[in-house]
Structure 1
Amino acid sequence: MLFEGNVIAAVCEKLEEEGYYIEQRLNTTQQGFDIIALKENGDMKIKLIVEAKGATSSRKSSERYGQPFDRAQVRIHVAEALYKVAEALSIKNSRYQIYTAIALPKNKDHLDHVKKIQTALDTLGIAVFFVDDMGRVEVSSPWAV
């Protein structure tokens, strides 16, 4: 069962393999964008902002700790991630080209909910990183990661 921190770690590792520098990597108790990664691609400077969600609660005191989120909770998490990256898309920054992504566990409920909004994600230019239980990352992106 992937905690949010596991998803963040796997995505950061993948981004570093792709030549990104991780400027910010939050833990589950911190507020803000979970991952901010930077990359220079010729004359273009890219800032990638990623919002991540896990498959279960990472708080040991939570009733959901160690138990998978149900389908309704997953839907809410996908919606919250979409809202957070919409905030990032609204950032005005002349130094960087802003790209956004959401990072989610690769399981049936997350895949189903993303499939329902895939056209909107593509239209808005939002990538999706799916992380499986082994920490492998699959990327669905309308732009080259």
Structure 2
Amino acid sequence: MLTENDIIENLTDFLIEKDYKIEQSLTTNQQGIDVIAKNNFETLYIEAKGETSSKPSSNRFGKPFNGNQIKSHISVALLATMKVISNKPSGNLTKVGIALPDTIGQRKIIEEILPALKMLDIRIYWVTTKSVKIE
């Protein structure tokens, strides 16, 4: 089970391999956009969510989030991306995205809103322990 911190770590490793410089990589204990990465062409602002709690003291630690929790997490991630879109920094081309664990529960919710995400040019980074796929 991937925590939000695992998602961020796997995503930043992937972006570094793709020649991005990581300007910001936050943990669950920090506030702000989770990952900001830049290359010569664009700046990425990516909000990440995990599939289980990152806190060992939590009742959800090691257990998958339920459907309502997944919806809530995706909603929070979308709010963060909408704030970036609304306040786009000038200069380099700005792109926003959400990094999520590649699970059936996450995919089911994203499929329902995928046309809107595409219209808004919000990238989805599907993260596993071994790979990252971009939609």
Work out whether the TM-score is over 0.5. Answer: yes
In the alignment, the residues of structure 1 paired with residue 24 and residue 125 of structure 2 have an alpha-carbon distance, to the nearest angstrom, of: 17
Superposition pairs for residues 126-137 of structure 1, below 5 Å? 126-132=122-128, 134-137=129-132
Secondary structure of 2:39's match?
strand
Query: Which runs of 5 or more structure 1 residues have no equivalent in the other structure?
Result: 141-145
**1:20-52 CA deviation, whole Å, 9 max, x = no partner?**
1000000110000000001113xxxx2100000
How many angstroms does 1:101 deviate by? 0.4
TM-score (norm 2): 0.96
Q: Which residue of 2 aligns with 1:138?
A: 133
8 Å contact from structure 1 (residues 101, 127) kept in 2: yes
8 Å contact from structure 1 (residues 59, 65) kept in 2: yes
Aligned-pair Cα RMSD in Å: 0.9
In the alignment, the residues of structure 1 paired with residue 130 and residue 2 of structure 2 have an alpha-carbon distance, to the nearest angstrom, of: 9
How many angstroms does 1:135 deviate by? 3.1
**1:36-85 CA deviation, whole Å, 9 max, x = no partner?**
001113xxxx2100000000001111111111000110011111111110
Secondary structure of 1:37's match?
strand
1:74 and 2:74 equivalent?
no
Deviant stretches of 4+, over 4 Å: none
TM-score (norm 1): 0.90
Q: Percent identity?
A: 37
Query: Which runs of 5 or more structure 2 residues have no equivalent in the other structure?
Result: none
Q: Which residue of 2 aligns with 1:49?
A: 45
Superposition pairs for residues 1-145 of structure 1, below 5 Å? 1-41=1-41, 46-132=42-128, 134-140=129-135
Secondary structure of 1:40's match?
coil
Q: How many residues align?
A: 135
In the alignment, the residues of structure 1 paired with residue 107 and residue 88 of structure 2 have an alpha-carbon distance, to the nearest angstrom, of: 31
